[in-house]
A and B are shown apart, each in its own frame.
Chain A
Amino acid sequence: MGEPKINDQHIEESQPNRFKRFMKWLWTDYSVIIAFLIMFVVAAFMSPRFLELGNLLNIVMQVSIIGIIALGMTVIMLSGGLDLSVGSVLALVGVLTIMALNATGSITMALLAALLAGPMVGLLNGLMIAKGRIASFIATLGMMAGARSIALYLADGGSMSGEVMAFANISNSDLGMIDVPIIIFIVMTALVYILMHKTRFGRYVYAIGSNEKSARLSAINVEKMKLAIYSLGGLMVSVAAIIETSRLNSISSSSSGQLYELDAIAAVIIGGTRMTGGRGKVIGTFFGVLILGILNNMMNLMNVSPHLQGFVKGLIIIIAVVFQKRE
């Protein structure tokens, strides 16, 4: 039959052919990196200040919180779900963290409270979605309203400040030149990358997002996985909340985390993850986050009116998705 012929062709593949294939692979799998490079070059030409190291670090610093949330969002969206509650949950976790900090005076207890609260809210999301069979959009929309409301109630609608000054050191110290939030963001990216590409958990997430019924019939415990996935999303929000709260040693129950869900989802989409799950990459999200950062930075450097910035951002998101449609 014809098979051996085909094999030969694979082996004897010529050099330019392989290059073409490499470029095609780069384009389909990592078009976000190309988009990032283009934006980077354009930004460098448009504003000389852009390339200053301080400015570059500043960009990463500014996106680190959204970035960490977007990592969790990537996992959730790869499984075919969505989490609209991240912004509200960030405010709630922040409030609880400050309360624990002020009540115990211990930073450890504050961190513990934060790292427990996020996953618990996430688990609740997971329970509604997996056991209650509620669409993730609806379940987390409910959680979005609920978590914000409880945060407002606990903080009496206002801001809460930490009474232990050392708590602010978390976000405001650095290792050499690099701020701690940046390091946390990069370490988190690496951890989620390993989780998604080197472990069973990651495989299962892709399988569920690609075809939930097949996944279940392949003896994957889909319900348990969903609990884990949304809890992980919650954990990422916890980490983001710690950074956010520690930055000014305070949290606003009304405005903190406002619209973070949209930025996080935008970063994931720009990063090439499919809305319905099953396809996408953690690295894509990382660069998606950086693209958002460069965009904000460029508009500030070029004095674009803050009222117009949303328009430009929206435009870029839509353009990014249009380009990715060409698979």
Chain B
Amino acid sequence: MALLEMQNINKSFNQVPVLHDVHLEVDQGEIHALLGENGAGKSTLMNILGGIHQPDSGTIKVNGQSVQMTTPKVSQHHGISFIHQELNLVSDLKVYENMFLGQELRKPYGFLDVKEMCRQTEEILTKLGVHIDPQAEVRDLGTSYKQMIEISRALLHKSNIIIMDEPTTALSDSEVERLFELMRQLKQDGISIIYISHKLKEVKSICDRMTVLRDGYVVHTGPLEGQSLDQITTYMVGKSVSEDRLVSHAHTDEVVLSVDHLTLEGFYHDVSFRIKRGEIVGFTGLAGDGRTELFESLFGYRQNFQGDVQINGQSVHLNHPKKAVRAGLGYVPKDRKENAIIQDMDVVQNMSISSLGHFEKNGFINHKIEHKTFMNYKDQLNIKANNPKENIDKLSGGNQQKVMIARWLELNTDIIIFDNPTQGIDVGAKQEIYQHIIQLAEQGKAVIILSSEAPEMMKVCHHVYVMYQGEIVGSFDGSEATEDNILSYATGSKKEAVSVG
């Protein structure tokens, strides 16, 4: 008998059905992958299980007993823990304080029993094979350790079903390995995990079975064994997506951006490179390799760096993003929610915010032109937005990212930097974004892509630079780069004197 059964779950929001008769079964001690594109209904289903939303109809059974998940507390009581993509830890508190947040152990007179809480925390952490001091401040810990603490908290609550939503997005490869180790151990202890991820390779290496959702319907459920990545992708998007390299053939010999000996103490050191018109160049490495800081500096967001930057042969001093834009640089930042999106504005306004000058007539914004321009991009980029006047945060991640791309297309800069352009985006939308990037290059723009995903680099880049601890340590032609090769440079196990030119 399955540990968890969700049967005939239906759910609509504002009369728009999101889930149709969805079934999900999870056995004890299995890692079950829940797959699907953004907007397929994964989060809704999990929110129903977590007691955040109520289903319109359908039953949930835990251990064969029918239960009503009316609130998150009830769900927790039934042994379900939900580890969200954005970790739910208070960084100003200590490890043990986070573990027991909301259910602190107390001594008879109401004082906190710190000793006992630390002991229990230590016990669980040791069981998981992680060595963290219960008294350590959470803010000082790396993301993977924070994740461990969330998992420990789930164990503390005696959960037997743990939902993990995209747990590896912020982790480096070795950290992912550590997480998987832990998951395997949990599995042996009879704990079930529902694993949501877009990274199919990871899914394939860790999960036992999968349930695939598409547009609110379950389209496939079964073991992962023997399924190829292509096959899984096909289930998700309903058509096959090619894994082949996409190449733009537009690149010329005209250098648009040349960077010489750029240094910002503590972030990156003596970085030099050149980029030509029509070229797509990738920068990759592990978390903390300094690439984001490097390009934030180029874009004028960070100041006080040393070195020489030339755009179109002219030396430029960029100390504000506005100047960078004027000089011909565009930047689509990573972490959309924190760095790019303006949550309180609607979709159209998010598109136009950087180029309002284009929509002005006699000093006033002309809403008609603004709207019309957006509709053009909506068609061009295939942005799925029912109502351009709705808030941007109502869109799925992929569509939000397309709006961000539209923002920079409208500015029409010669050079565009994409930092982690496919973060949290489903397979279908990823492909579309690669195609737009290639189109940009074909129009003669120079494109820079920052990403920690090696396959992404190999897919579209003419040239790949690998960074390690703030330095460029490796440099390949895009067609010659392999995942192993990139990784050995990114982890610092290999290093070469880079000749730039």
Query: Which of the segments B101-109, B321-329, B493-501 contacts the partner chain?
Result: B321-329
Interface pair A200/B365, CB less than 8 Å apart: yes
Taking A216-B321, A219-B321 as contacts, is the C-beta distance between A203 and B353 under 8 angstroms?
yes
Interface pair B325/A210, CB less than 8 Å apart: no
Task: Tell me the smallest distance from the CB of B208 to a CB of chain A, in Å.
Answer: 29
Pairs A–B under 8 Å by Cβ, sample size 12: A1-B238, A6-B16, A10-B387, A199-B364, A200-B356, A203-B356, A203-B365, A214-B342, A217-B339, A219-B411, A278-B343, A278-B344
Chain A residues at the B interface, C-beta cutoff of 8 Å? 1-3, 5-7, 9-10, 194, 198-200, 203-204, 206-207, 209-211, 213-221, 278-279
Interface pair A210/B344, CB less than 8 Å apart: yes
Interface pair B343/A211, CB less than 8 Å apart: yes
Pick from B16, B216, B354, B365: contact of A218, CB below 8 A. Answer: B354
Query: In the complex, what residue of chain B is closest to A277 when comparing beta carbons?
Result: B344
Taking A3-B384, A9-B15, A210-B344 as contacts, is the C-beta distance between A221 and B320 under 8 angstroms?
yes
Query: In the complex, what residue of chain A is closest to B321 when comparing beta carbons?
Result: A219
Interface pair A217/B342, CB less than 8 Å apart: no
Does B349 make an interface contact (CB < 8 A)? yes
Measured CA separation A217–B329 after assembly (Å): 12
Interface pair A2/B215, CB less than 8 Å apart: yes
- Total contacts A to B, CB within 8 angstroms? 86
Does B226 make an interface contact (CB < 8 A)? no
Task: Tell me the smallest distance from the CB of B336 to a CB of chain A, in Å.
Answer: 9
Pick from A10, A198, A207: contact of B353, CB below 8 A. Answer: A207
Closest 6 CB pairs of A and B: A210-B344, A278-B344, A219-B325, A200-B356, A219-B321, A2-B215
Interface pair A218/B407, CB less than 8 Å apart: yes
Task: Tell me the smallest distance from the CB of B240 to a CB of chain A, in Å.
Answer: 16
Pick from A200, A217, A278: contact of B340, CB below 8 A. Answer: A217
Residues in B neighbouring A220, C-beta threshold 8 A: 321-322, 353-354
Pick from A2, A199, A217, A279: contact of B216, CB below 8 A. Answer: A2
Chain B residues at the A interface, C-beta cutoff of 8 Å? 15-17, 215-216, 238, 299, 301, 320-322, 324-325, 331, 333, 338-345, 349, 352-354, 356-357, 360, 363-365, 384, 386-387, 407, 411
Pick from A1, A200, A206, A207: contact of B360, CB below 8 A. Answer: A200
Taking A219-B322, A221-B320 as contacts, is the C-beta distance between A199 and B365 under 8 angstroms?
yes
Interface pair A214/B365, CB less than 8 Å apart: no
Residues in B neighbouring A204, C-beta threshold 8 A: 353
Interface pair A9/B322, CB less than 8 Å apart: no
Interface pair A198/B365, CB less than 8 Å apart: yes
Residues in A neighbouring B331, C-beta threshold 8 A: 217
Residues in B neighbouring A3, C-beta threshold 8 A: 384
Residues in A neighbouring B299, C-beta threshold 8 A: 217
**Which one of A2, A9, A194, A198 has the greatest number of beta carbons of chain B within 10 Å?**
A2
Task: Tell me the smallest distance from the CB of B369 to a CB of chain A, in Å.
Answer: 13
Sample of 18 further A-B pairs with CB below 8 A, known A217-B299, A218-B321: A1-B215, A2-B17, A5-B16, A6-B16, A10-B386, A199-B364, A200-B356, A203-B352, A211-B342, A211-B343, A214-B338, A214-B341, A215-B342, A216-B321, A219-B354, A219-B411, A278-B342, A278-B344
Residues in A neighbouring B364, C-beta threshold 8 A: 194, 198-199
Query: In the complex, what residue of chain A is closest to B336 when comparing beta carbons?
Result: A214
Interface pair A210/B342, CB less than 8 Å apart: yes
Residues in A neighbouring B411, C-beta threshold 8 A: 219
Taking A2-B215, A200-B357, A219-B325 as contacts, is the C-beta distance between A211 and B341 under 8 angstroms?
yes
Measured CA separation A214–B299 after assembly (Å): 13
Interface pair A279/B386, CB less than 8 Å apart: no
Residues in A neighbouring B349, C-beta threshold 8 A: 203
Query: In the complex, what residue of chain B is closest to A280 when comparing beta carbons?
Result: B344
Residues in A neighbouring B325, C-beta threshold 8 A: 219
Task: Tell me the smallest distance from the CB of B375 to a CB of chain A, in Å.
Answer: 14
Query: In the complex, what residue of chain A is closest to B333 when comparing beta carbons?
Result: A217
Task: Tell me the smallest distance from the CB of B331 to a CB of chain A, in Å.
Answer: 7
Residues in A neighbouring B340, C-beta threshold 8 A: 214, 217-218
**Which one of A194, A207, A219 has the greatest number of beta carbons of chain B within 10 Å?**
A219
Interface pair A219/B301, CB less than 8 Å apart: no
Query: In the complex, what residue of chain A is closest to B325 when comparing beta carbons?
Result: A219
Residues in A neighbouring B344, C-beta threshold 8 A: 206, 209-210, 278-279
Task: Tell me the smallest distance from the CB of A206 to a CB of chain B, in Å.
Answer: 6
Residues in B neighbouring A278, C-beta threshold 8 A: 342-344
Query: In the complex, what residue of chain B is closest to A223 when comparing beta carbons?
Result: B320
Measured CA separation A216–B360 after assembly (Å): 21
Residues in B neighbouring A200, C-beta threshold 8 A: 356-357, 360, 365
Measured CA separation A285–B395 after assembly (Å): 30
Interface pair A6/B353, CB less than 8 Å apart: no
Taking A198-B364, A219-B324 as contacts, is the C-beta distance between A210 and B357 under 8 angstroms?
no
